[in-house]
């Protein structure tokens, strides 16, 4: 769906389920290549910490580490305890990544059209054309569906040739900007569950000294009809959960990141596409000219580049050279 509102966390070894391990390894390597090739300035490697709350009382002069009061800030040392979780992780700001990919596509001669797809039109022999919201139909040698949770529409578009049993998890996030003069420590943080509010916060500091916060808890799970009633820009934020998250952050964060007037920030929402087996659908739809790449759950940024490469190889050569796509076959739910 490429909303640009994801966290942008990238992880390699130890984060998959065995079958998805190669997606993590390939994704991690490809992001480094893309950052260099496309000039993605927000890409960087950083460690990941596991964070628990100690029950201490936050003070106005606490600091995250031994760097001193003028060092980078993130966690409140009086209320948290952090331990190393993984020193081989990375991040990218998704909006910049999407923008650089589109720019590169245009530079190579691709015509990019920002329009809504209303469905597919079959010619009678398994070949489909794309029908736009405007009513225009675009003939195609190959049709590639990479629409995140909205790929559930492919069930109807393809007349039952495929089942896409995904739920969409409407996930609210908060982007905080550090106050003037403060810099944010470069470390991703996975926080333990908060019993009072039911949060399980994830903190992703970015190179521009903003902090992306997710893991609000209480995210609604949407069925097919509910997914299709939304668009990427209309997924509603959960204002009630945001109140709880701001309260937790006031205790978790270094005092230098907590303004006297309280934590504000920009609320956003996106929808995570979740198949029942937590594995994406990648590959061709048999007896058609259609391919699909969707259902990446919370790993869309990490798994996106290897998925895109595999789909490009299928279009050009009919086979994927780097990934075994058998576990991700789009017809496995029929």
Q: What is the 3-state secondary structure (H, E, C) of 111-158?
A: CCCCCCEEEEEECCCCCEEEEECCCCEECCCCEEECCHHHHHHHHHHC
Q: Which of 122-126, 189-193, 239-243, 307-311 has the lowest mean pLDDT?
A: 122-126
User: In the structure encoding, which two tokens stand for residue 264, read together?
Assistant: 């504000």
How many other CB atoms are there within 10 angstroms of residue 267's CB atom? Answer: 17
pLDDT of residue 66: 38
Confidence of residue 201 (pLDDT cuts 50, 70, 90): very high
- Average model confidence (pLDDT) across the chain: 93
Number of H helices, E strands in the chain: 6, 15
Residues 6+ apart with CB under 8 A from 133: 115, 116, 117, 118
Helices 21-38 and 300-317 sit at what angle, rounded to 10 degrees?
90
Confidence of residue 1 (pLDDT cuts 50, 70, 90): low
Token pair 């089942």 in the structure block, residue: 163
**∠ CA(167), CA(153), CA(313), 5° rounding?**
95
Confidence of residue 2 (pLDDT cuts 50, 70, 90): low
pLDDT digits (tens, 9 = 90+) for 55-99: 777 654 444 443 445 689 999 999 999 999 999 999 999 999 999
Yes or no: say if 184 and 209 are a contact pair by the CB < 8 Å rule: yes
């Amino acid at each position: 769906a490429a909303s640009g509102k994801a966290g942008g966390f990238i992880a390699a070894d130890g984060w998959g389920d065995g079958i998805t391990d190669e997606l993590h390894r390939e994704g991690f390597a490809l992001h480094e290549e893309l950052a260099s090739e496309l000039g993605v300035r927000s890409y960087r490697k950083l460690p990941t910490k596991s964070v628990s709350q100690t029950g201490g009382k936050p003070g106005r002069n606490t600091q995250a580490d031994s760097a001193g009061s003028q060092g980078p800030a993130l966690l409140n040392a009086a209320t948290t305890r952090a331990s190393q979780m993984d020193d081989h992780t990375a991040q990218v700001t998704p909006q910049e990544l999407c923008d650089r990919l589109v720019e590169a596509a245009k530079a190579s001669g691709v015509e990019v059209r920002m329009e809504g797809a209303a469905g597919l039109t079959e010619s009678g022999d398994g070949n489909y054309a794309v029908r736009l919201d405007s009513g225009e139909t675009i003939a195609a040698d190959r049709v590639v569906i990479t629409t995140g949770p909205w790929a559930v529409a492919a069930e109807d578009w393809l007349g039952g040739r495929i089942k896409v049993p995904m739920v969409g998890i409407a996930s609210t996030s908060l982007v905080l900007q550090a106050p003037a003069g403060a810099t944010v420590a470069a470390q991703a943080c996975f926080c333990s569950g908060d019993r009072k509010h039911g949060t399980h916060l994830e903190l992703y500091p970015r190179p521009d000294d903003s902090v992306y916060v997710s893991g609000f808890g209480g995210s609604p799970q949407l069925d097919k009809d509910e997914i299709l009633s939304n668009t990427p820009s209309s997924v509603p934020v959960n204002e009630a959960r945001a109140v709880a998250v701001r309260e937790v952050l006031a205790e978790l964060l270094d005092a230098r990141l907590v303004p006297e007037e309280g934590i504000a920030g920009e609320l956003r929402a996106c929808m995570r596409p979740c198949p029942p087996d937590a594995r994406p659908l990648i590959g061709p739809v048999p007896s058609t000219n259609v391919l699909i790449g969707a259902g990446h759950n919370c790993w869309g940024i990490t798994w996106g580049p290897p998925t895109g490469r595999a789909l490009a190889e299928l279009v050009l050569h009919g086979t994927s050279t780097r990934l075994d796509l058998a576990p991700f076959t789009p017809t496995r739910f029929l």
